[in-house]
Amino acid sequence: MPVSTKPSFWWRHAVIYQIYPRSFADANGDGIGDLPGIATHLPYLVKLGVDAIWLSPCFRSPQIDAGYDVSDYRDIDPIFGTRADFEHLISEAHGAGLRVIADLVPNHTSDQHPWFQQALLSPPGSPERARYIFRDGKGKHGELPPNNWKSVFGGIAWTKEPERAGSASRQWYLHLFDSRQPDLNWDNPEVRAEFEDILRFWLDRGVDGFRIDVAHGLIKGKGLPDFQVRATMVGDHDDKTPSDAPMWDREGIHDIYRSWRSILNTYPDERMLVAEAWVKPQERLARYVRSDEMHQAFNFDYLLTLWNAQAYRDVIDTSIQAMNAVGAPATWVMSNHDTVRHVTCLGLSIPGTRPPGIGENDEQPDEELGLRRARAAIFMTLGLPGSVTLYQGEELGLPEHTTMEARFRQDPAFFRTEGKEIGRDGCRIPFPWKADAPALGFNTTGKTWLPQPKSYKRYAVDQEEKNSDSTLALYRQLLKIRKERGLGDGALQWHESVENVLDFENGSVRVVINFGTEEVPLPQGTIMASSLDLDQTKILPGNSAVWLENVD
Ligand code: BGC
């Protein structure tokens, strides 16, 4: 990055593009995307107009949860390349003016991590075990789990350790996710010191920031009390009440982020932390981004909002207020690698609902209607002040793979719920670059770790690049205007509007979105961009949006 001594606060307005490395571009042809593949496609991202890339984890891992099960935090998994490839990618990205955000997974390690392997070989009460959460079982012979917690991926959150030579007793260990992802014990100073060192390790190698996985889960309630409900990430609580789940959003968590922030502050060039914290209400989430903690947090309330004008207005107001109160930027996100792609959700009978995956036997979306709404939605998202995260492929209007056969599935959530939850594979499909190439240009061998649906051909980059009305062309246009007009650093002001319509201005741009089906009159102003071909009419059709030159 160009070195400057004046802070730019880039993270307050940045558009961050999430790359799912397994599925972006595969340079070595083994069917799984890799770092050299990403490096080749940086010009595409520059042309798109984003400011930063966030890479889902590419650290050494048995890949039980697609890299969210790390066995060596200081090395790159060979399926993605080498550490030299990672460093090359950082330097190429910086050369192209893009920042790079790595994905840090501190709540749990892989069961193959040397620490966990040592723990299994060490007796109860040993320092090796104290890095994780081992407990004796309940029941006469310890045959019952220590409490009733459920795993986010389904089933119970405890596994009895395997038999150990020379020991009659077997303890249980906690895993909020898969049994091969044991939770670390963050009350142990050794764990804290290790992660501080890992942060420094990658900061020294030039990463511009970290997305913190399961940021709300590190500290567990004292005594690990029973909790009635399944520990879903979203929790059991409503919008207004903080969760009382003993595994989420505990007070002590904030000390960890304060110490991390103080480490980042010693580095030049404004490194940043972004929280993946499924915490409600927004005031609780804001506690993660107080001025001495992280820089920003994903706004999952926004991601989960149904297709409804009032619901969006409420979530936008609440988010901006809560973040303003702590001096943090609001953020906006509509899709990621854990949720059904928003374009698909917007084509369901209750538009915007997020089922835990969609399979052949589930309701299938109206693809055209979903795309029409998603194109309108991006006018709202990119029109808002703050930072935006895009998920790879949304700029193509790429839908979820909703008819994948069960035999291809890989998500541990599918297996742990015995198929009751379809899981997240459908949003992680290899990227279509070229309509008429093997694997749609994802590689040259035609191999893919998940199958690509037939429809992806028409969304391929080379097709959309030829078409000035494509979703890709639209994203490029809006991102350009957003940057030129400084919308990320702007301020929002609502205009009163008819039912089902949102109308706001942000500096020189006026944003109007019609969530209904009936056409509505447009306010005055030249159309700068529109989700449908409108040709300066004075009417805004249903499920469409415009940016107008603000004449006020
Ligand atoms: C990641 C998921 C992952 C889980 C466990 C998350 O929230 O985004 O993909 O399965 O953490 O690490």
The secondary structure of 476-531 as a DSSP string is: HHHHHHHHHTTGGG--EEE----TTEEEEEETTEEEEEE-SSS-EEPPSS-EEEES
Please report the beta strands in 162-239, taking only residues with DSSP state E, as ranges in sequence order.
172-174, 209-212
Backbone angles phi, psi at 459, to 5 degrees: -95, 0
Q: Of 213, 395, 425, 464, which is the active-site residue?
A: 213
Residue 227 has pLDDT above 80, yes or no: yes
Report which protein residue has its CA nearest ligand 1's atom 3: 68
Lowest mean pLDDT among 167-176, 202-211, 287-296: 167-176
- pLDDT band at residue 238, thresholds of 50, 70 and 90? low
How many percent of the chain have pLDDT more than 70?
97
How many percent of the chain have pLDDT more than 90?
93
Residue holding tokens 């010009």? 43
Q: How far is the CA of 108 from the centre of ligand 1 (A)?
A: 10
3-state secondary structure of 413: helix
Q: Is the CB of 183 under 6 A from ligand 1?
A: no
Residue among 418, 423, 422, 440 nearest 431 (CA): 440
Lowest mean pLDDT among 7-21, 77-91, 218-232, 527-541: 218-232
- pLDDT band at residue 231, thresholds of 50, 70 and 90? low
Q: How far is the CA of 57 from the centre of ligand 1 (A)?
A: 10
**Per-residue pLDDT tens for 189-217?**
999 999 999 999 999 999 999 999 999 99
Residue-averaged pLDDT of the chain? 95
Q: Is the CB of 65 under 6 A from ligand 1?
A: yes
Report which protein residue has its CA nearest ligand 1's atom 7: 214
Lowest mean pLDDT among 59-68, 144-153, 535-544: 535-544
Residue among 88, 96, 85 nearest 17 (CA): 96
* DSSP 8-state secondary structure symbol assigned to residue 282: H
Rounded to the nearest 10 degrees, the angle between the axes of helix 253-264 and helix 189-204 is 30
Atom number, ligand 1, closest to the C-alpha of residue 278: 7
Average pLDDT over residues 367-393: 98
Residue 228 is predicted with a pLDDT of: 76
Q: Which residues contact 369 (CB under 8 A, 6 or more apart)?
A: 346, 347, 543
Residues forming a β-bridge with 530: 546
Q: How far is the CA of 299 from the centre of ligand 1 (A)?
A: 16
Residue 165 has pLDDT above 90, yes or no: no
Q: Of 34, 51, 276, 505, which is the active-site residue?
A: 276
Look up 239 and say whether it is catalytic.
no
Q: Is the CB of 103 under 6 A from ligand 1?
A: no
Atom number, ligand 1, closest to the C-alpha of residue 424: 9
Helix (H) or strand (E) holding 415: helix 412-416
Q: Is the CB of 449 under 6 A from ligand 1?
A: no
Residues forming a β-bridge with 139: none
**Per-residue pLDDT tens for 459-505?**
999 999 999 999 999 999 999 999 999 999 999 999 999 999 999 99
**Per-residue pLDDT tens for 445-465?**
999 999 999 999 999 999 999
Q: Is the CB of 32 under 6 A from ligand 1?
A: no
Look up 213 and say whether it is catalytic.
yes
* DSSP 8-state secondary structure symbol assigned to residue 104: E
**Distance of alpha carbon 188 from alpha carbon 325, whole angstroms:** 32
Residue 237 is predicted with a pLDDT of: 54
Residue 6 is predicted with a pLDDT of: 81
Residue 167 is predicted with a pLDDT of: 78
Q: How far is the CA of 106 from the centre of ligand 1 (A)?
A: 11
Residue among 78, 66, 83, 62 nearest 20 (CA): 66
Q: Is the CB of 277 under 6 A from ligand 1?
A: no
Residue 236 is predicted with a pLDDT of: 54
Residue among 18, 39, 17 nearest 27 (CA): 39
